[in-house]
Amino acid sequence: MLGIIVLAPPLAALAGPAHSAGDRAAIEACLKDSRERPESCIELVYDRCVAAPGNGSTPGMEDCAARELAVWDDKLNAAYRKLVDGALGKVDALPEHRPAEAPRAKAVKGAVLLADMENAWIAFRARKCDASALTAEGGTLARTIYSTCFLDETARQALFLQSIVDDVASR
């Protein structure tokens, strides 16, 4: 049985405050207004939060990133759950239709492919953000770069998964 993938950030600093209903509402309103460019909604809460007095420090910026990350993480997990529990999760993915980079010896359910994709993405996100933070290695800015990268990549993946949900729903 497949469980929900929990996308808990590896940095203690990202375990800051949970998002508020206002954070979620701001992102939802942005997404509604920016249907052609949903990526423009990434870092909306973060930018507003960092601009507030007292949030310009490394811990403040990390808390701001954590607030928005919580919203996108919820959205990502909701979209993932819809895919796994929906028609795509039940599809028999035939081995002859798999790419050489992801071969299968036998047919598997779509839910297995979706779980493999998410697990590979989780590892990719961690490594990408770790490499991005190298530009400031040795300073506290590295933590901020990592936390905003983590936020950005999570938001992009949430948008990607939601686009698949929307595509399936439109058929």
Could you give the CA distance from residue 152 to residue 20 in angstroms, rounded to a whole number?
A: 19
Mean pLDDT of the chain: 89
Sole residue written with tokens 């420090």: 57
Angle at 48 between CA 38 and CA 149, to 5 degrees: 60
Handedness of CA 128, 119, 82, 7 (dihedral sign): negative
pTM of the model: 0.86
pLDDT tens digit sequence for 21-50: 999 999 999 999 998 899 999 999 999 999
Phi and psi torsions of 109, nearest 5°: -70, 150
> Going by C-beta distance under 8 Å and a sequence separation of 6 or more, which residues neighbour residue 116?
102
Question: For residue 128, which amino acid is it?
Answer: K
Give the DSSP letter of residue 106: S
CA dihedral 23, 130, 37, 165 (to 10 degrees): -80
Could you give the CA distance from residue 7 to residue 17 in angstroms, rounded to a whole number?
A: 16
What pLDDT was estimated at residue 3? 46
Tokens linked to 13: 């600093």
pLDDT tens digit sequence for 50-103: 999 999 899 999 999 999 999 999 999 999 999 999 999 999 999 999 899 988
What pLDDT was estimated at residue 20? 85
Tokens linked to 44: 């909306």
